[in-house]
Structure 1
């Protein structure tokens, strides 16, 4: 991996980190970035040593500021090109949404358009006080797909979806917190102090227990008629038949920190 790669991938103990690396353009997404980011997340899905994944942007100006318009002439110049591009975007979102591990969006600066969609894929969103959020589709004549609207609707509700899309304006961090778009807002200098201890704390908890909750959250994101409760119940039952369940009880009785293995 090179510092010039469009997507940077690293592991910090039990935490996997995906960095959108296009700071000259506020980490705007190209076709290659969508593809490489999906591949990075898929790699973490198969790595049992990674128990939490953090998504972040390079530099301190942006998380992701939408699509890289400078690439449109080559990447979205025809119907065929647009279909290829949209497929890459769809694959990325499906990969993150299907990850059976906790995800955290570390949002510093601009989180616009497709960048907001990336953040919405995550379980937890924490931003700096100078973060800015927007979906500028109405300024560009873009029709926004139902699934994207629905995902935002599930998080902030109809009244804020209407305001976000109808006005196409930028919302500041405090407005995002009030809407429920982010879990919390912290001073810019304290963003890392909020993110990494949280990610490490999650990574230190029982992976099977967290996977059971993640499975429920994934089902709840679907229409009720599509819920697979039997599958969720199997994930829950797996916890009680695990060595981690025994380890958790033993550590509690011995007043020590548990050593969970995911087994």
Structure 2
């Protein structure tokens, strides 16, 4: 097993988290679920981080939870519930990030890997990507909160198909369902991910965070989240970045946003 199953790098406001178990198609162990949740929470609170990219090492995004652990760590109802809690915490950490999260998907994106991608804001894939939620083949249930991510990301019809049949879909079907933003040629994939991430990172962080909060509130129809989104939006008008944006527009120069 790789000594560092999760890799982290940051550059110019872009944090990249890599699931680093290519020999196991980036299957996620219980320890990795815990680590992923912790890292996402830390990055979300870091004022220097403006966007997160989640990807897998090598040719695959992630095969999901490591089935090799199921007999020992998920072998009965009690341990299965405890294991599921670590899944849910990782999904929630991505879902609740204050900054946008991009899933960069190559190859296999199955089960818990699909759940991680569904919890992200944007999903971009290569044409060879394959998607599945095989819980029905394993006799287990998918976490309810994570199912909400799948319904939002892929739509209720596709969520039903994937979970009822445990069937696979290709990148084109995922794009048609709205799960993917784009399908990108393999040779342009890294450049395109970098382009989108840099564009987000260069924009006004408070504006991006306010938009993210407003979109979340619109999807959830939750009054508390709507209030938080309104407050985030109001805060932009009091910010130095709002003044910088106006000044840069008037001077026809590139704005330099500070996130305050």
Measure the CA separation in 1 of the matches of 2:155 and 2:254.
39
Query: Would the aligned equivalents of 1:6 and 1:32 in 2 still touch at CA under 8 Å?
Result: no
3-state SS, counterpart of residue 140 of structure 2: coil
Q: Is residue 54 from structure 1 mapped to residue 53 from structure 2 by the alignment?
A: yes
Q: Please state how far the C-alpha of 1:226 moved relative to its aligned partner.
A: 4.2
3-state SS, counterpart of residue 19 of structure 1: strand
Query: Would the aligned equivalents of 1:138 and 1:166 in 2 still touch at CA under 8 Å?
Result: yes
Measure the CA separation in 2 of the matches of 1:57 and 1:124.
15
Instruction: Quote the residue 2:193 is aligned against.
Output: 195
Instruction: Quote the residue 1:220 is aligned against.
Output: 218
- Comparing 49-58 with 34-43, greater Cα deviation is found at 34-43
Measure the CA separation in 2 of the matches of 1:213 and 1:8.
28
Q: TM-score, normalised by structure 2?
A: 0.94
1:156 corresponds, among 154, 157, 162, to 154
Q: Is residue 243 from structure 1 mapped to residue 240 from structure 2 by the alignment?
A: yes
- Comparing 48-57 with 90-99, greater Cα deviation is found at 90-99
Instruction: Quote the residue 1:233 is aligned against.
Output: 230
Unaligned regions of 5+ residues in structure 2, if any?
Answer: none
3-state SS, counterpart of residue 199 of structure 1: helix
Q: Where do 1:124-135 residues align within 5 Å?
A: 124-135=122-133
Q: TM-score, normalised by structure 1?
A: 0.93
Q: Please state how far the C-alpha of 1:103 moved relative to its aligned partner.
A: 0.7
Unaligned regions of 5+ residues in structure 1, if any?
Answer: none
Instruction: Quote the residue 2:95 is aligned against.
Output: 97
Q: Please state how far the C-alpha of 1:153 moved relative to its aligned partner.
A: 2.0
Measure the CA separation in 1 of the matches of 2:253 and 2:80.
55
Change (3 A) 1:165 1:79: closer
Query: Would the aligned equivalents of 1:98 and 1:218 in 2 still touch at CA under 8 Å?
Result: no
Measure the CA separation in 2 of the matches of 1:190 and 1:249.
34
Query: What are the superposed Cα offsets for residues 2-56 of structure 1, whole Å, 9 maximum, x if unpaired?
Result: x731111110221001111111110011011101111111121121111000000
Q: Please state how far the C-alpha of 1:225 moved relative to its aligned partner.
A: 4.7
Structure 1 stretches of 4+ moved >6 Å? none
Instruction: Quote the residue 1:252 is aligned against.
Output: 249
> How many residue pairs were aligned?
259
Measure the CA separation in 1 of the matches of 2:170 and 2:164.
16
Q: Is residue 262 from structure 1 mapped to residue 256 from structure 2 by the alignment?
A: no
Measure the CA separation in 1 of the matches of 2:239 and 2:141.
48
Q: Is residue 205 from structure 1 mapped to residue 203 from structure 2 by the alignment?
A: yes
3-state SS, counterpart of residue 144 of structure 1: coil
Query: What are the superposed Cα offsets for residues 110-166 of structure 1, whole Å, 9 maximum, x if unpaired?
Result: 000110100011110000110000111222222234333332222332322222222
Query: Would the aligned equivalents of 2:52 and 2:100 in 1 still touch at CA under 8 Å?
Result: yes
Instruction: Quote the residue 2:80 is aligned against.
Output: 82
